[in-house]
């Protein structure tokens, strides 16, 4: 417990790499609201994950942080400066979700181009940087092949190499493992670990929750343009409360649901022997137990479950995805 | 000015597909112009000269080569990935300026190759190159490349619906002004007065935005310096580029948000 | 909306913005100045003469041609267009010099509340419909060239071509009126304006050689006629040895006594040469050789077809018939 507290204190004391305040973004003259009052703080050196269902606003949020989209309201500061500031750009790396690079170039030319854009001279050190980047993504053998002939996974690797150019201090990776084979995913994991070691701040947008859990330090769950949860990965396993009752004394489910709603927490799952309660804050645990007991529900055993990120958010993601699919289907039928 | 954009854009123009298309255009055009240059009539030769060094080539090449570079390439199969480029420490005005300059250089190279070819062809038919090529032709080629490339850069910098609207607006303005001035001129009570001067001034001011090129021969041979032509030309080039930069700054480049 | 802050990648350079605004202001000032304080009209540079009624019977066809400048200033639009036209064209030193040295400049104006009978008559005679416009004529009012809106450089080209055309028009007019001495002068003038090679190699010039040859023969200048014919044939055949049968070379060869009448008529079928030319050439040559019977026969055949009315040789054949005292029905071309 003390270790966790120390970590939290340390995190709070760090200067934020990214500070977002009351960010809003809408399209079509305000008709389509994508982000609504988003506030976020990403500490320097964090590997920060943005998770959420499709259409939740993760990509739009990343676009705003990159200053490629203009927020409708609110404020973004990266290392204390506006996101389109040239000093911010100098330390920023970006991997887009669907890479479609200059097809006529070869990887070496492409990386040289980005090295020049990053303002680095073409000396020996620069050449070594390109060699290192190609080696890191295991593309050194195809360094002279035309990009047009690359597969999806190879393009993704090249995109990652491009991120490494210019020694960024802040990286935005949009679905970095998309289209990659298992060795490729391992490679991305290693690069992220290297970033973590080097103190590089990384913002990842991904659906691979297991991967995120392995490498990220913090995450934010976004749904319908709002941040629902934002916390450290280390606190995740304290959020799912398992409450077991005696077999012969199964509580009234309506009562259970009502009490939990009053406490501001969610009933994630239940069966004859126990209920899984999803807490908003891990410190809510004692309060919830107290309220359950007060309402006459007999409990045998209560403990925090050590569950994964995917188990926690998959139901929410799936529910949203189903709604989205239904909406699309309905639209198509019309 | 970004050397990277300038250098790699010119290399992009030298891509084999672009080169084949451009070569066909150059050869066809040079053959035609060469045939015209070899004729006996001064008017035909003058017309060939104006075709060779006039705005046609800059417009065609700029539309074909430069415009796609400004598209949000999430919607395209190949080309530049603008969101990726703009995530780098590259001011957007610098991107616009580099693209414009690369276009000017490329177009001038094409015009020079065409001129050499056309004059060689005309020479075979017994016509002297000096009959057509003079310092005014060279000046026209440079000035037209500069201004028409700037115009195409402006149109390309606008998100696609806006580009079309601009064209529509140009035509509407031309028609309305012509009709307006024409109608007013037939009102008998309206003589040459202060009102007519205001109308003429307004019309000239509006029309001047569409006067893209400049005729260097007219400027140099005029008995008094045509200040108005020079001011309009320089002003238009600066205006087109400034508007392009403004449009690029306002555009959003993220996953087909065009 | 409009950001000029230094160090931002989405900002507009101040130097561009300021230059743009200054130049726009300057443009507005220059245009206003030009409208409210218009520059001096072209009268200062060119001394325009007043129009006079045309004298169709004038014989000095090789004298300085007349340049009629029509401007219609009866309404505001006309005034604006006239100003623009004059400022574009008549401020050019080369244009002014060319007009001063080679033409008699005549300005035909139509102004509000002023009589304009002469303007109407002249514009109708020269088929002028768009104003301002310019018409080049011979001294007897024969229209040689017409032009309206042009660049100053193109106007120079048009006027230069018109000057060449004036001699040719004068030669044709003289031939039609039986003034062969004047025709000889005109042809000699055309030839002196061109290099020998270009004079000979153009198709039009081959036809002119025939007419010049006949004019010289009518004037009993046999040696000169033979020289003109021989020079053209030798230059042409030296350059194109296989073009002996290309039209109208067979006509020239017939005049040089190298082929017979039948050969010429045969070539018209085989190489598409116009029959009217063949009959005209045979007819006039026969007439000049004293064989009036054959001459009448072929000249009658030359004017037999109505569809040839626009051809020079048709008109010339009618003129020859008239000179021979034959009755020729009137035609539109007369």
pLDDT tens digits, one per residue of B99-119:
899 989 988 888 888 888 877
Cis before C132 (ω within 30): yes
- Residue A230 is predicted with a pLDDT of 81
Domain A13-233 adopts which CATH fold? Answer: Rossmann fold (3.40.50)
Contact criterion met (CB < 8 Å) for A67 and C10: yes
Q: Which stretch, A247-251, B93-97, C58-62, C139-143, has highest mean pLDDT? A: B93-97
Contact criterion met (CB < 8 Å) for B74 and A98: yes
- Return the residue in C8, C24, C87 with the most chain B beta carbons within 10 A, the one to mutate for interface testing: C24
Q: What's the CA gap between C150 and C135, in Å, rounded?
A: 13
Which residue from B88, B254, B257 is facing A117, i.e. has the nearest CB?
B88
- Nearest Cα of chain A lies from the Cα of C7 at a distance, in angstroms, of 5
A23, A75 in Cβ contact below 8 A?
Answer: yes
A221, A315 in Cβ contact below 8 A?
Answer: no
A62, A50 in Cβ contact below 8 A?
Answer: yes
- Residue B120 is predicted with a pLDDT of 79
Give the three-state DSSP class for A222. strand
- Residue A325 is predicted with a pLDDT of 58
Higher pLDDT, B37 or A294: A294
In 10 A of CB C173, how many CB atoms? 18
- Residue B62 is predicted with a pLDDT of 76
Bridge partners, residue B210, by sequence: none
- In chain B, whose CA is at the least distance from the CA of C28? B205
- Return the residue in B15, B89, B256 with the most chain A beta carbons within 10 A, the one to mutate for interface testing: B89
**DSSP label at residue B119:** H
C39 touches B at CB < 8 Å = yes
Handedness of CA C172, C176, C177, C183 (dihedral sign): positive
Residues B233, B234, B239: CA angle, nearest 5 degrees: 100
A190, A164 in Cβ contact below 8 A?
Answer: no
Chain C residue numbers with beta carbons less than 8 Å from the beta carbon of B98 are none
- Residue B34 is predicted with a pLDDT of 78
Nearest one of B15, B143, B146, B25 to B68, comparing CA atoms: B15
- Residue B77 is predicted with a pLDDT of 41
Chain C residue numbers with beta carbons less than 8 Å from the beta carbon of A67 are 9-10
Token match 């709070």: residue? A12
Is pLDDT at A240 greater than 90 in this prediction?
no
Structural tokens at position B137:
């032709």
Q: What's the CA gap between A15 and A81, in Å, rounded?
A: 13
B216, B143 in Cβ contact below 8 A?
Answer: yes
**DSSP label at residue B66:** I
Length of chain A as a residue count: 334
B2, B10 in Cβ contact below 8 A?
Answer: no
- Return the residue in A84, A89, A94, A118 with the most chain C beta carbons within 10 A, the one to mutate for interface testing: A84
**DSSP label at residue B65:** I
- In chain C, whose CA is at the least distance from the CA of A90? C9
Higher pLDDT, C197 or B144: B144
Higher pLDDT, C25 or C164: C25
Token match 């598409």: residue? C272
- The residue-averaged pLDDT of B149-172 equals 74
Q: What percent of chain A has pLDDT over 90?
A: 17
In 10 A of CB C155, how many CB atoms? 23
Q: Which of A221-235, B178-192, C271-285 has the lowest mean pLDDT?
A: B178-192
Q: Which of B180-189, C58-67, C85-94, C287-296 has the lowest mean pLDDT?
A: B180-189
B3 touches A at CB < 8 Å = yes
Contact criterion met (CB < 8 Å) for A86 and C10: no
Higher pLDDT, B14 or C296: C296
Structural tokens at position A297:
């529900």
ipTM: 0.81
Length of chain C as a residue count: 334
In 10 A of CB A244, how many CB atoms? 13
Higher pLDDT, B93 or B118: B93
Contact criterion met (CB < 8 Å) for B252 and A63: yes
Chain B residue numbers with beta carbons less than 8 Å from the beta carbon of A59 are 254-255
Q: What does the pLDDT look like over C215-254, one tens digit per residue?
A: 999 988 999 999 989 988 888 788 777 777 777 888 989 9
- Measured in Å, how far apart are chain B's first and last C-alpha atoms? 25
- Return the residue in B1, B5, B37, B42 with the most chain C beta carbons within 10 A, the one to mutate for interface testing: B42
- Residue B162 is predicted with a pLDDT of 63
Q: What's the CA gap between A288 and A295, in Å, rounded?
A: 11
Which residue from A60, A68, A109 is facing B87, i.e. has the nearest CB?
A68
Q: Which of A89-103, B47-61, B233-247 has the lowest mean pLDDT?
A: B47-61
Is pLDDT at A282 greater than 50 in this prediction?
yes
Mean pLDDT of chain A: 81
Chain B residue numbers with beta carbons less than 8 Å from the beta carbon of A101 are 81, 84
Is residue C72 packed enough to be buried (19+ CB in 10 Å), middle (13-18) or exposed (0-12)? buried
- The residue-averaged pLDDT of B223-252 equals 90
- Nearest Cα of chain C lies from the Cα of B144 at a distance, in angstroms, of 15
The set of chains that have 3 or more CB pairs under 8 A with C is A, B
- Residue A314 is predicted with a pLDDT of 62
Length of chain B as a residue count: 258
In 10 A of CB A207, how many CB atoms? 16
Residues C121, C127, C129: CA angle, nearest 5 degrees: 100
Is pLDDT at B69 greater than 80 in this prediction?
no
Query: CB within 8 A of B93, min separation 6: which ones?
Result: B245, B248, B249, C11, C12, C13, C16
Structural tokens at position C9:
């990648």
Q: What does the pLDDT look like over A9-21, one tens digit per residue?
A: 444 445 688 999 9
Contact criterion met (CB < 8 Å) for A104 and B86: no
Phi, psi of C5 (to 5 degrees): -65, 135
- Return the residue in B71, B75, B254, B257 with the most chain A beta carbons within 10 A, the one to mutate for interface testing: B254
Residue B187's pLDDT band, with cuts at 50, 70 and 90, is very low
- Return the residue in B97, B242, B250, B254 with the most chain C beta carbons within 10 A, the one to mutate for interface testing: B242
Residue B190's pLDDT band, with cuts at 50, 70 and 90, is very low
| CB contacts < 8 A (A, C) | 14
- Residue C22 is predicted with a pLDDT of 96
Query: CB within 8 A of B85, min separation 6: which ones?
Result: A117, B5, B95
- In chain B, whose CA is at the least distance from the CA of A101? B81
- Residue A1 is predicted with a pLDDT of 38
Q: What's the CA gap between C229 and C235, in Å, rounded?
A: 10
B75 touches A at CB < 8 Å = no
- In chain A, whose CA is at the least distance from the CA of B79? A102
Q: What does the pLDDT look like over A71-116, one tens digit per residue?
A: 999 999 999 899 999 999 999 999 887 776 777 888 998 999 888 8
Token match 């003058």: residue? B46
Contact criterion met (CB < 8 Å) for A85 and C9: yes
Spell out the domain ranges in chain A. 13-233, 239-309
Q: What's the CA gap between B256 and A63, in Å, rounded?
A: 11
HEC string of B24-65 equals HHHHHHHHHHHHHHCCCCHHHHHHHHHHHHCCHHHHHHHHHH
Query: CB within 8 A of A128, min separation 6: which ones?
Result: none
Helix (H) or strand (E) holding C176: helix C152-176
C220 touches B at CB < 8 Å = no
- The residue-averaged pLDDT of C90-103 equals 88
Residue B127's pLDDT band, with cuts at 50, 70 and 90, is low
Contact criterion met (CB < 8 Å) for A85 and C8: yes
A233, A300 in Cβ contact below 8 A?
Answer: no
- In chain C, whose CA is at the least distance from the CA of B86? C9
Higher pLDDT, C241 or C322: C322
Class for the domain spanning A239-309: alpha beta
Query: CB within 8 A of C314, min separation 6: which ones?
Result: C276, C280, C302, C303, C308, C333
C316, C176 in Cβ contact below 8 A?
Answer: yes
Is pLDDT at C131 greater than 80 in this prediction?
yes
- Residue A10 is predicted with a pLDDT of 47
The CB-side HSE value for B258 (13 A sphere, CA atoms) comes to: 19
Contact criterion met (CB < 8 Å) for C8 and A87: no
Chain A residue numbers with beta carbons less than 8 Å from the beta carbon of C10 are 67, 84
Nearest one of A254, A261, A300 to A278, comparing CA atoms: A261
Mean pLDDT of chain C: 84
**DSSP label at residue B192:** S
Domains, chain C: 44-162 (3.40.30.10), 179-323 (no CATH)
Residue C207's pLDDT band, with cuts at 50, 70 and 90, is confident
Contact criterion met (CB < 8 Å) for A89 and C9: yes
B164 touches A at CB < 8 Å = no
- Residue C202 is predicted with a pLDDT of 58
Which residue from B205, B241, B249 is facing C10, i.e. has the nearest CB?
B249
- The residue-averaged pLDDT of A47-65 equals 88
| CB contacts < 8 A (B, C) | 141
Token match 């800059």: residue? B58
- Measured in Å, how far apart are chain C's first and last C-alpha atoms? 74
Is pLDDT at A329 greater than 80 in this prediction?
no
- The residue-averaged pLDDT of C179-205 equals 73
A313, A51 in Cβ contact below 8 A?
Answer: yes
- The residue-averaged pLDDT of A59-78 equals 91
Contact criterion met (CB < 8 Å) for C30 and B217: no
- Between residues 46 and 65 of chain A, which touch chain B (CB distance below 8 Å)? 59-60, 63
- In chain C, whose CA is at the least distance from the CA of A72? C1
Contact criterion met (CB < 8 Å) for B255 and A117: no
- Nearest Cα of chain A lies from the Cα of C16 at a distance, in angstroms, of 19
Structural tokens at position C36:
């409210």
Q: What percent of chain B has pLDDT over 70?
A: 76
Is pLDDT at A8 greater than 50 in this prediction?
no
Contact criterion met (CB < 8 Å) for C7 and A89: no
- Residue C160 is predicted with a pLDDT of 87
Structural tokens at position C315:
């008109």
Which residue from C12, C75, C152 is facing B93, i.e. has the nearest CB?
C12
Contact criterion met (CB < 8 Å) for C31 and B201: yes
Q: Which of A284-288, A291-295, C56-60 has the lowest mean pLDDT?
A: C56-60
Contact criterion met (CB < 8 Å) for C9 and A84: yes
């Amino acid at each position: 417990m003390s270790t966790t507290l120390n970590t939290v204190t340390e995190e709070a004391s760090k200067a934020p790499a990214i500070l977002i305040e009351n960010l809003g973004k809408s399209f079509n003259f305000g008709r389509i609201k994508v982000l609504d009052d988003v506030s976020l703080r990403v500490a320097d050196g964090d590997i920060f994950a943005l998770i959420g269902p499709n259409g939740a606003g993760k990509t739009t949020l990343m676009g705003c942080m990159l200053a490629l989209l203009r927020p409708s309201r609110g404020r973004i500061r990266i290392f204390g400066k506006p996101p389109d500031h040239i000093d911010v750009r100098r330390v920023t790396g970006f991997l887009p979700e669907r890479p479609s690079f200059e097809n006529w170039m070869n990887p070496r030319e492409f990386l040289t181009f980005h090295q020049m854009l990053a303002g680095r001279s073409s000396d020996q050190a620069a050449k070594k940087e390109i060699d290192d980047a190609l080696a890191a993504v295991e593309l050194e053998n195809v360094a002279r092949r035309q990009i047009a002939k690359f597969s999806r996974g190879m393009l993704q690797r090249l995109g990652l190499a491009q991120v490494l150019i210019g020694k960024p201090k802040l990286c935005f990776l949009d679905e970095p493992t998309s289209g990659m084979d298992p060795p490729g995913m391992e490679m991305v994991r290693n690069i992220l670990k290297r970033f973590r070691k080097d103190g590089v701040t990384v913002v990842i947008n991904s659906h691979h929750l297991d991967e995120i859990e392995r490498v990220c330090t913090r995450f934010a769950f976004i749904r319908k343009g709002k941040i629902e949860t934002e916390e450290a990965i280390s606190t995740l396993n304290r959020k799912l409360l398992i409450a077991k009752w005696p077999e012969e004394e199964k509580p009234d489910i309506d009562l259970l649901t009502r009490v939990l709603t009053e406490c501001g927490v969610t009933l994630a799952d239940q069966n004859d022997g126990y209920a899984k309660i999803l807490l908003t804050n891990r410190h809510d645990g004692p309060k919830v137990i107290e309220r359950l007991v007060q309402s006459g529900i007999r409990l045998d055993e209560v403990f925090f479950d050590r569950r994964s990120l995917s188990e926690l958010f998959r139901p929410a993601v799936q529910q949203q995805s189903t709604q989205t699919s239904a909406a699309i289907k309905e639209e198509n039928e019309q | 000015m970004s050397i990277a954009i300038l250098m790699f854009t010119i290399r992009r123009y030298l891509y084999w597909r672009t080169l084949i298309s451009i070569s066909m255009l150059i050869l066809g055009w040079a053959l035609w112009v060469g045939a015209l240059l070899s004729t006996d009539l001064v008017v035909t030769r003058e017309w060939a000269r104006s075709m060779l060094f006039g705005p046609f080539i800059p417009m065609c090449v700029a539309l074909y080569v430069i415009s796609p570079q400004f598209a949000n390439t999430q919607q395209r199969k190949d080309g530049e990935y603008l969101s990726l480029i703009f995530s780098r420490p590259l001011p957007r005005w610098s991107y616009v300026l580099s693209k414009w300059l690369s276009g000017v250089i490329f177009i001038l190279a094409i015009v020079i190759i065409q001129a050499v070819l056309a004059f060689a062809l005309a020479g075979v038919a017994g016509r002297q190159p000096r009959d057509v090529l003079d310092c005014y032709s060279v000046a026209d080629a440079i000035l037209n490349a500069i201004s028409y490339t700037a115009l195409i850069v402006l149109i390309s910098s606008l998100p696609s619906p806006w580009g079309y609207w601009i064209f529509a607006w140009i035509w509407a303005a031309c028609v309305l002004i012509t009709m307006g001035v024409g109608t007013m001129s037939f009102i008998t009570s309206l003589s040459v007065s202060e009102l007519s001067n205001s109308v003429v001034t307004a019309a000239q001011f509006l029309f001047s935005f569409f006067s893209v090129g400049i005729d260097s021969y007219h400027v140099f041979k005029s008995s008094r310096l045509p200040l108005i032509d020079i001011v309009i030309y320089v002003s238009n080039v600066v205006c087109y580029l400034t508007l392009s930069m403004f449009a690029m700054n306002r555009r959003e480049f993220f996953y087909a948000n065009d | 909306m409009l950001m000029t802050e230094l160090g931002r990648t989405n900002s507009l350079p101040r130097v561009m913005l300021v230059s743009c605004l200054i130049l726009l202001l300057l443009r507005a000032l220059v245009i206003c100045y030009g409208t409210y304080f218009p520059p001096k009209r072209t009268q200062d540079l060119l001394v325009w003469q007043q129009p006079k009624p045309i004298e169709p019977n004038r014989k000095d066809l090789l004298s300085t041609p007349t340049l009629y400048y029509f401007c219609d200033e009866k309404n505001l639009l006309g005034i604006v267009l006239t100003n623009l036209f004059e400022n574009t064209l008549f401020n050019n030193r080369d244009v002014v010099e060319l007009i001063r040295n080679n033409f008699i400049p005549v300005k035909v104006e139509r102004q509000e509340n002023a009589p304009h009978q002469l303007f109407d008559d002249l514009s109708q005679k020269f088929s002028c419909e768009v104003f301002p416009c310019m018409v080049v004529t011979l001294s007897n009012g024969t229209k040689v060239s017409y032009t309206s809106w042009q660049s100053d450089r193109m106007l120079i080209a048009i006027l230069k071509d018109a000057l060449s055309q004036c001699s040719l028009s004068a030669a044709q007019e003289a031939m039609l009126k039986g003034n062969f001495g004047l025709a000889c002068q005109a042809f000699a003038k055309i030839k002196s304006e061109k290099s020998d090679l270009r004079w000979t190699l153009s198709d039009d010039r081959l036809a002119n050689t025939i007419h010049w040859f006949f004019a010289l023969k009518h004037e009993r200048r046999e040696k000169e006629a033979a020289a003109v014919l021989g020079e053209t044939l030798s230059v042409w055949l030296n350059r194109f040895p296989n073009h002996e049968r290309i039209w109208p070379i067979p006509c020239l060869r017939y005049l040089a006594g190298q082929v017979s009448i039948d050969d010429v008529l045969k070539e018209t079928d085989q190489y598409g040469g116009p029959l009217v030319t063949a009959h005209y050439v045979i007819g006039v040559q026969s007439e000049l050789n004293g064989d009036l019977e054959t001459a009448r026969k072929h000249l009658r055949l030359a004017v037999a077809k109505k569809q040839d009315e626009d051809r020079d040789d048709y008109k010339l054949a009618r003129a020859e018939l008239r000179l021979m005292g034959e009755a020729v029905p009137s035609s539109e071309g007369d």
